[in-house]
Amino acid sequence: MGQLIVATCIIDDIIGLVLLSEVEALVNPTPWNFIAPILSAFGFLIVLGWSAVTWMPKVIEHKYLAYFNEENREDAAFGLMVALLLGYLPLLYATKASYLMGAFLAGLTFSQIGVVHSSFVHNTEATMSWLVRIFFATTIGFQVPVKYFEKAEVIRSVYPSY
């Protein structure tokens, strides 16, 4: 059940990232601004997503990591993942898809490479737990406009909806 919910959340996140691009297009709502994020997001999902689960893991594991000694492979894989992340983020942002999808696709590329997950956890666990705490408290918490909750307009129109 938990894995089904997680799988659902992953697909939900992918759709949500497309939706996020659509919301950003509302700033300048022209037809092209609505269509471009969908085309870009699904285009990259098909091309990079397909590559990430088919040929790229094999190339990375058998060609790239084979160059390194056993003890250096974790670092080499981690370095390549960061390089891919730094490449995908601006690429997807520039093409009007969400940069978060770039992060997702960079991670997906390494989902079948065993050493990466342990390396990622080993290198980032403590830092990430704090960054995620800060994310929930600031990126989410700071955006809640609590001062508007007591406004008559909000009380009149929003609270009855709940």
Partner 1 sequence: MKTLHSVLFCAILCFGQLWSNSNASTDVLVTDLKVRGNEVAARVNKLQGEAGTTSSNPPRKERMRYSMGWSGPMGRKLDLIRNVMRRREAEDDHGDSHDDSLGVHFPVRDLYYTIIFLVAIYVGGRLAEIVGTPALAGEIIVGIALGPPAADFVPIEEALVLFGDIGLVMLILEAGIDIDLAQLKATGSRALVMAMVGIAVPLLIGYGLGSAAGLGFEAAFAVGACFAPTSLGVAAKALNAGNLLNR
Nearer to partner 1, 39 or 132 (CB): 132
36-44, 63-71, 145-153 -> range binding partner 1 (CB under 8 A): 145-153
Please tell me the count of residues contacting partner 1 according to CB under 8 A: 63
Nearer to partner 1, 97 or 106 (CB): 106
The most distant pair of C-alpha atoms in the chain lies apart, rounded to whole Å, by: 67
- Contact characters 18-37, partner 1, x per CB under 8 A: -xx-xx--x--x--------
**Binding test (CB under 8 A) with partner 1, winner from 42, 64, 93, 120:** 120
Q: Is 73 in the site for partner 1 (CB under 8 A)?
A: no
| Secondary structure of residue 26 in the 3-state scheme | coil
**Binding test (CB under 8 A) with partner 1, winner from 45, 56, 74, 104:** 104
Write the CB contacts of 149 (distance below 8 Å, at least 6 apart in sequence).
155
Nearest to 56 by CA among 15, 20, 10, 110: 110
10-18, 37-45, 58-66, 68-76 -> range binding partner 1 (CB under 8 A): 10-18
Write the CB contacts of 31 (distance below 8 Å, at least 6 apart in sequence).
none
**Binding test (CB under 8 A) with partner 1, winner from 43, 72, 94, 133:** 133
Quick one: CA dihedral 13, 42, 128, 135, positive or negative? Answer: negative
Q: Report the alpha-carbon distance of residue 161 to residue 92 in Å, rounded.
A: 37
Q: Is 12 in the site for partner 1 (CB under 8 A)?
A: yes
Q: What are phi and psi of 91, to 5 degrees?
A: -60, -50
Nearest to 136 by CA among 126, 146, 144: 144
- The residues that touch partner 1, with contacts defined as CB under 8 A, are 1-13, 15-16, 19-20, 22-23, 26, 29, 53, 81, 85, 89, 99-100, 103-112, 116-117, 120, 124, 128, 130-147, 157-158, 161
